């Protein structure tokens, strides 16, 4: 496998030169658009390769989702086996797919899957922009996203996150809506497919529902405004959209009902996520958008770049010789309302997690393509203006990397040169766990160290594989604690790990956040488990039938 150290000079410079070659080909109209798109995806892959082959967690969220996929492969009933909290069921189910072709449940698989989803989204968004704004504008609009999502070192854009499945479904629905506008008579089959995708969006990320609602609204508007459709034809197509939109939710609800998990689905996914936002002040969250964008590192450059090009294009659109058509107004309204819905969605919780910004990919790319479409109409100057502006955007990355070299700052924060092959490296904690249990057996970890599940390849024995909702004070604390105890008693895993301490994310105070804060859990552990010792500030308990009579202290003495 390829390895990358913190200064992969021989890799970085050739790939950076490929970016310049891609930029030059973008403004060559004779270069086939399919070849351009294929080369763009290849460049994106090469740019992200150091993070793809990094077999460790880039963000704790991906350990959570890999663990859930590992568990669902053994027990496919969501909410009985796992609970993704803010992430939807589809995020974890999709990570099972690579295992069908022999790929392991590890970080390389997750990073590779994330790349595939990002590439598919950009491919669909490019196709949509090309239908609306032309090939030249779509090419120039795509490049900054290839460069940003490839050259950034911000882990929120590189790890497998809970936004990607919803983003793929939305990007696909954008493209289908764009093709629908081109049809003289809107296809019922295409409308049905849009409805199906929109109905699946909430099960990728509930946060994305406002974006799906915008697509559904504009599909309905397009159908109702068609002069060549009868009233029955309009009603029939709107009904098809609604029925297909409900198909997947009804299927999932039935799946939950049959397996006795309907109450958990409503309590922990619907109510739990709506209460997650709490009393967030939406207006204050919106005012903090500039700070939010800056947290996204180079994403802030992208937002400013899009804003400048879009505003310049908007000015050019009001030239006397240009006339607005009903078609262009509909597209403009769609993009505008989609942007508003996206800004609402990413600021609703007030959490400002950087990976939320992924949802802006669609409206930003469309806005940039709109700007370039109008600017390219300027004779002779248009093409060179696009080439020059995008070149400046690319130069920023070169300057940034050059400064890192000069300051001896790591160019690649995800070095893989010491991984010793493909296998995930085990920590002392996971090595100790495997002395008492086998891969495939259940494990329970109290705290936030989902990577222990992946290192041991042991599925989770409780639905909540990180326990902040069972430890921190919030309106549903009692519900989460009750479920944790229920799941723990049901599975009674051979090993229980209390990771609260210096090695756990957010849960570091053992006195106030240890598993003992739930009385019934503490009593069950005391009755059925033996404390075998402390490793890396992590307490390990082994079920009494698995203990061989020697504690870690006894072993160290011998």
pLDDT in tens, 383-424: 889 999 999 999 999 999 999 989 989 999 999 988 877 789
393 shares its domain with 456 = no
Question: Per residue in 114-130, pLDDT tens?
Answer: 999 999 999 999 999 99
399 shares its domain with 543 = no
Domain span holding position 299? 9-276+289-406
Question: Per residue in 209-233, pLDDT tens?
Answer: 999 999 999 999 999 999 999 999 9
Average pLDDT score over residue span 109-113:
98
* pLDDT score for 558: 35
356 shares its domain with 447 = no
Examine the fold and report which residue of 372, 406, 440 is the final residue of a domain before the chain moves on: 406
Is residue 338 a part of any domain in this protein? yes
Share the mean pLDDT of the chain.
Answer: 93
- The percent of residues in the chain predicted with pLDDT above 70, rounded, is 96
389 shares its domain with 437 = no
Please enumerate in sequence order all residues whose Cβ is within 8 A of that of 413, keeping only pairs 6 or more positions apart, or say none: 6, 153, 155
Is residue 390 a part of any domain in this protein? yes
386 shares its domain with 498 = no
Q: Radius of gyration of the chain from Cα atoms?
A: 26
Distance in angstroms (rounded) separating the CA atoms of residues 228 and 231: 10
Predicted confidence band of residue 555 (pLDDT cuts 50, 70, 90): very low
361 shares its domain with 479 = no
402 shares its domain with 432 = no
Is residue 423 a part of any domain in this protein? no
399 shares its domain with 435 = no
160 shares its domain with 28 = yes
Is residue 87 a part of any domain in this protein? yes
Average pLDDT score over residue span 529-537:
95
386 shares its domain with 436 = no
Predicted confidence band of residue 279 (pLDDT cuts 50, 70, 90): low
* pLDDT score for 423: 84
363 shares its domain with 457 = no
Say if residue 552's pLDDT is above 50. no
Is residue 67 a part of any domain in this protein? yes
Residue with tokens 């963000």, as numbered in its chain? 59
Say if residue 321's pLDDT is above 50. yes
β-bridge partners, 443: 460, 495
Long-range CB contact pairs, 426-432, < 8 A, 24+: 426/455, 426/456, 427/451, 427/452, 427/455, 427/536, 428/535, 428/536, 429/497, 429/499, 429/503, 429/535, 429/536, 429/538, 429/540, 430/455, 430/456, 432/532, 432/533, 432/535, 432/540, 432/552
Helix (H, G, I), strand (E, B) or coil at 81: coil
Q: What is the pTM of this model?
A: 0.95
Examine the fold and report which residue of 406, 441, 457 is the final residue of a domain before the chain moves on: 406
Is residue 415 a part of any domain in this protein? no
Predicted confidence band of residue 365 (pLDDT cuts 50, 70, 90): very high
Average pLDDT score over residue span 70-78:
97
Q: End-to-end CA distance of the chain: give it in Å, rounded.
A: 40
Distance in angstroms (rounded) separating the CA atoms of residues 367 and 467: 41
Number of domains in the chain: 2
Distance in angstroms (rounded) separating the CA atoms of residues 183 and 345: 31
Say if residue 304's pLDDT is above 50. yes
Region of poorest pLDDT, from 9-18, 80-89, 312-321? 312-321
Please enumerate in sequence order all residues whose Cβ is within 8 A of that of 400, keeping only pairs 6 or more positions apart, or say none: 298
Distance in angstroms (rounded) separating the CA atoms of residues 57 and 111: 9
Distance in angstroms (rounded) separating the CA atoms of residues 291 and 301: 12
Question: Per residue in 19-28, pLDDT tens?
Answer: 999 999 999 9
Distance in angstroms (rounded) separating the CA atoms of residues 525 and 522: 5
3-state secondary structure 429-485: HHHHHHHHCCCCCCEEEECCCCHHHHHHCCCECCCCCCCHHHHCCCCCHHHHHHHHH
Say if residue 55's pLDDT is above 70. yes
Predicted confidence band of residue 277 (pLDDT cuts 50, 70, 90): low
Predicted confidence band of residue 551 (pLDDT cuts 50, 70, 90): very low
Distance in angstroms (rounded) separating the CA atoms of residues 95 and 92: 5
Is residue 511 a part of any domain in this protein? yes
Is residue 444 a part of any domain in this protein? yes
391 shares its domain with 448 = no
């Amino acid at each position: 496998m390829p390895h990358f150290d913190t200064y992969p000079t021989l890799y970085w410079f050739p790939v950076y030169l490929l970016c310049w070659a891609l930029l030059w080909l973008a403004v060559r109209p004779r270069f086939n658009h399919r070849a351009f798109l294929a080369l763009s995806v290849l460049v994106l892959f090469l740019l992200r390769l150091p993070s793809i082959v990094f077999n460790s967690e880039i963000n704790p969220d991906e350990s959570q989702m890999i663990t859930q996929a590992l568990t669902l492969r053994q027990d496919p009933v969501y909410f009985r086996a796992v609970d993704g909290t803010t992430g939807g069921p589809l995020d974890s189910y999709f990570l099972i797919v690579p295992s069908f072709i022999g790929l392991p449940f590890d970080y390389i698989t997750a990073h590779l899957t994330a790349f595939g989803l990002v590439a598919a989204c950009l491919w669909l968004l490019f196709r949509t922009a090309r239908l609306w704004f032309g090939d030249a504008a779509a090419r120039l609009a795509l490049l900054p996203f290839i460069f940003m999502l490839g050259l950034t070192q911000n882990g929120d854009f590189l790890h497998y996150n809970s936004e990607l499945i919803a983003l793929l479904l939305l990007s696909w629905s954008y493209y289908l809506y764009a093709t629908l506008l081109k049809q003289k008579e809107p296809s019922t089959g295409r409308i049905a497919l849009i409805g199906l995708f929109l109905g699946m969006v909430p099960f990728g990320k509930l946060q994305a529902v406002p974006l799906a609602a915008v697509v559904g609204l504009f599909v309905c508007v397009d159908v109702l405004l068609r002069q060549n459709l009868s009233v029955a034809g309009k009603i029939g197509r709107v009904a098809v959209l609604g029925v297909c939109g409900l198909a997947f939710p009804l299927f999932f609800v039935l799946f939950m009902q049959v397996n006795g998990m309907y109450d958990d689905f409503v309590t922990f996914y619907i109510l739990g996520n709506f209460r997650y936002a709490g009393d967030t002040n939406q207006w204050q969250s919106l005012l903090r958008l500039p700070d939010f964008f800056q947290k996204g590192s180079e994403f802030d450059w992208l937002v400013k770049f899009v804003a400048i090009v879009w505003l310049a294009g908007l000015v050019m659109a009001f030239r006397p010789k240009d006339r607005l058509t009903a078609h262009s107004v509909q597209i403009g309204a769609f993009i505008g309302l989609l942007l508003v819905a996206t800004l609402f969605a990413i600021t609703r919780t007030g959490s400002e997690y950087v990976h939320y910004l992924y949802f802006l990919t669609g409206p930003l790319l469309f806005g940039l393509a709109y700007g370039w479409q109008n600017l390219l109409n300027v004779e002779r100057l248009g093409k060179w203006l696009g080439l020059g502006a995008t070149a400046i955007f690319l130069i920023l990355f070169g300057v940034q990397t050059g400064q890192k070299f000069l300051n001896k700052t790591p160019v690649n924060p995800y070095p893989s040169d010491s991984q010793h092959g493909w296998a995930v490296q085990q920590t002392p904690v996971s090595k100790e766990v495997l002395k008492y249990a086998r891969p495939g057996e259940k494990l329970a970890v109290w705290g936030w160290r989902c990577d222990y599940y992946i290192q041991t390849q042991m599925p989770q024995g409780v639905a909540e594989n990180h326990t902040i909702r069972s430890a921190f004070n919030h309106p549903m604390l009692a519900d989460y604690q009750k479920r944790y105890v229920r799941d723990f008693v049901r599975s009674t895993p051979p090993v229980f790990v209390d990771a609260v301490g210096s090695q756990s994310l957010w849960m570091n105070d053992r006195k106030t956040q240890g598993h003992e804060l739930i009385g019934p859990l503490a009593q069950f552990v005391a009755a059925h488990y033996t404390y075998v010792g402390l490793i890396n500030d992590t307490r390990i308990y082994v079920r009494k039938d698995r203990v061989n009579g020697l504690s870690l202290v006894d072993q160290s003495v011998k």
